[in-house]
Amino acid sequence: MKFLPMPFHTVLLFVVWLLLNNSMSVGHIVLALFFAITIPMLVNGMRDEHPKILKPWKAICYVLMVMKDIVVANVEVALWIIGPVKKLKPGFVAIPINIQSDLGITILASTVSLTPGTVSAEVSEDKQWLYIHALHLDNGSELIETVKQRYEKPIKEIFGC
Amino acid sequence: MPLYLEIIICVCLLIGGLFLLVGSYGLARLPDIYMRLHSPTKASTLGITGVLVASMIYQSYSKGFLSIQEFLITLFLLITAPVAANMIAKTALHHRTKALEKTQGQALMASIRERQAPNSTQDAD
Amino acid sequence: MLTYTIVIVAICICVALILNLWRLMVGPTVSDRILALDTMYINAIALILLYGIYANTALYFEAALLIAMLGFVSTAALCKYLLRGDIIE
């Protein structure tokens, strides 16, 4: 058995344990190390294969960009909500996607839900189309282009698929 | 507590409260379920983040060391809010809830429900 | 200053909760009611954290975390039930 089968999850468990207890005492660090090493060993056999993050730096940039977009999109949506509802033009849009991995599609769908005034509703069974509902749809093809350029391309690069 | 910290906390709290209010206001006001989905997932997420940041700063000050455990809740909500919204949208589509009359691309709703590809040419709008 | 701000924000959140409650009562479909419940969970977290600041204690963090987790799990469970519990489809 490998000593650290899931290094990322090991770090995550370690940090989350310390955050939950909100302390840096020696006892908690030892306990966190114990959990962080044993739990991945126990659950390693249960998980599916995920694509590896190939470009960690790019991933951090992506997270920061999404954070910024969340704030911008939130203010925009809040203004739409307060403003005249009659002027809003909601609509469903189908976005063609070419990410194969489930993890990539999940991240793309979550990002789309959190950012530009859209909520992802469904993924087609063949994983070719992402259906989204937009609160205010001016130009469908423009929205598709934005999602593909701004969010799908970096995800594809990060996972290299 | 120094004045500048108090001002930062107050601003964060006010932003948070305002966005939470706007999110719930949208929930009560918007006309159909698909539009209503937007306000809690977006406005409320930012609102709760504001309150959590305020709480983080305040607790860090009053305890005397950096207390970022509130960050866990923020992260958790940021990850789960889109998932919950997606599931509610699925439920609404599954129950054949009618969208607002003026919604564009309503022809897509049947293929969304069946999880199939959209019918060739009608590429929304 | 902080005391006044907390009162103002608490009023905001309470109004938000009342609006959620209204949607929970009126909501024409089940999905609306689930959405209203989900939003109520988020508002409740905010209210609890606010009380934590007001009372100057960190004890309420665990309660807020639990509500966040329960809120998501119950929303997911309700949606899954409605998606799968339908016999006709």
Predicted pLDDT of residue A61: 86
Predicted pLDDT of residue B122: 47
Q: What is the pTM of this model?
A: 0.83
Higher pLDDT pick, A126 / C67: C67
DSSP per-residue codes, C20-56: HHHHHHH-SSHHHHHHHHHHHHHHHHHHHHHHHHHTT
Using the structure block, give the residue that is written with the tokens 């983040």.
B49
A90-120 pLDDT tens trace: 778 888 888 777 787 888 888 888 877 778 8
- DSSP E strand boundaries for chain A: 91-96, 118-123, 129-134
Domain ranges of chain B: 3-114
What crossing angle do the helices spanning A102-114 and B70-94 adopt, rounded to 10°?
A: 100
Q: Which of B23, B81, B105 sits opposite A92 (nearest CB)?
A: B105
| Model confidence at B117: pLDDT above 80 | no
Higher pLDDT pick, C11 / A133: C11
Choose among B114, B13, B112: nearest CA to B57: B13
Look at B9-13, B55-59, C22-26, C55-59 and tell me which has the smallest mean pLDDT: C55-59
| Model confidence at B123: pLDDT above 60 | no
Report the CATH architecture of A56-159.
Answer: 2-Layer Sandwich (3.30)
- Report yes or no: C70 at the B interface, CB cutoff 8 Å: no
User: Predicted ipTM?
Assistant: 0.84
Predicted pLDDT of residue A2: 64
**What is the average per-residue pLDDT within A33-59?**
78
**What is the average per-residue pLDDT within A21-28?**
82
Predicted pLDDT of residue A3: 67
Given an 8 Å threshold on Cβ–Cβ distance, is C42 in contact with B1?
no
List of residues 6+ apart from A19 with CB closer than 8 A:
B68, B69, B71, B72
Q: For residue A114, which residues of chain B lie inside 8 Å, CB to CB?
A: 41-42, 45, 78, 81-82
- Report yes or no: A26 at the B interface, CB cutoff 8 Å: no
Closest-CA residue in chain B for A115?
B42
- Report yes or no: C76 at the B interface, CB cutoff 8 Å: yes
- Report yes or no: B123 at the A interface, CB cutoff 8 Å: yes
**What is the average per-residue pLDDT within A13-41?**
84
b/e burial code for range B55-73 (CB count within 10 A of at least 16 → b): bbbbbeeeeeeebebbebb
| Model confidence at B121: pLDDT above 50 | no
Task: Write the burial class of residue A85 (CB in 10 Å: 0-12 exposed, 13-18 middle, 19+ buried).
Answer: middle
Predicted pLDDT of residue A81: 80
B90-116 pLDDT tens trace: 888 887 777 777 777 777 777 777 777
pLDDT in tens, chain C (89 residues): 888 888 888 998 899 899 889 988 887 888 888 888 888 998 998 888 888 888 888 788 888 888 888 988 888 888 888 887 655 54
Q: Which of B29, B104, B112 sits opposite A91 (nearest CB)?
A: B104
Domain ranges of chain A: 7-46, 56-159
Would you give the end-to-end CA distance of chain A in angstroms?
29
